[in-house]
């Protein structure tokens, strides 16, 4: 009887995992070039970072709502100050209409490189 109960629990957990896995979001859509350009138009190399010769990369997961407002869903940065700068500069910013689809999830890498 205990063996049967253990098997039922394992099967139930397996089914629950399979059901929840189906709810995971699909792979992010390809980032449209016009959206990337619109975002980079709102970013400059932070003066303090430039003066201190700080370089780094910031990865953002974003979506845009139907009012063309950008929402950062997740952010990761090699330098916390650059990450904070990007968040302050982009999150909740209204942008002009681009080919980005409202509600879709997009990933973007922003590179702060003193040589370029």
Tell whether 19 is covered by a domain.
Answer: no
In tens, the pLDDT along 9-29 reads: 444 444 444 443 444 344 556
88 within a domain of the structure (yes/no): yes
Give the chain's domain count. Answer: 1
Give alpha helix (H) positions in 31-114: 33-40, 47-51, 80-90
Contact 51, 68 (CB under 8 A): no
18 inside domain? no
Residue 71 domain flag: yes
Q: Residue 100: which domain range?
A: 27-112
Sheet holding 56-64, edge to edge: 70-77, 56-64, 106-112
pTM, full prediction: 0.71
Going by pLDDT thresholds of 50, 70 and 90, the confidence category of residue 43 is very high
SS3 content of the chain, % helix, strand, coil (to 5): 40, 25, 40
Q: Indicate whether 20 belongs to any domain.
A: no
């Amino acid at each position: 009887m205990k063996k049967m109960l253990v098997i039922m629990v394992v099967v139930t957990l397996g089914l629950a995992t399979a059901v929840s896995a189906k709810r995971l979001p699909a792979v992010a859509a390809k980032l449209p070039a016009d959206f990337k350009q619109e975002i980079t138009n709102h970013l400059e190399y932070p003066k303090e970072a430039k003066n201190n010769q700080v370089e780094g990369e910031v990865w953002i997961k974003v979506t845009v709502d139907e009012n063309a407002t950008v929402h950062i869903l997740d952010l990761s940065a090699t330098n916390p100050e650059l990450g904070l700068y990007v968040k302050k500069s982009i999150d909740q910013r209204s942008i002009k209409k681009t080919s980005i689809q409202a509600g879709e999830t997009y990933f973007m890498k922003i590179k702060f490189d003193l040589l370029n």
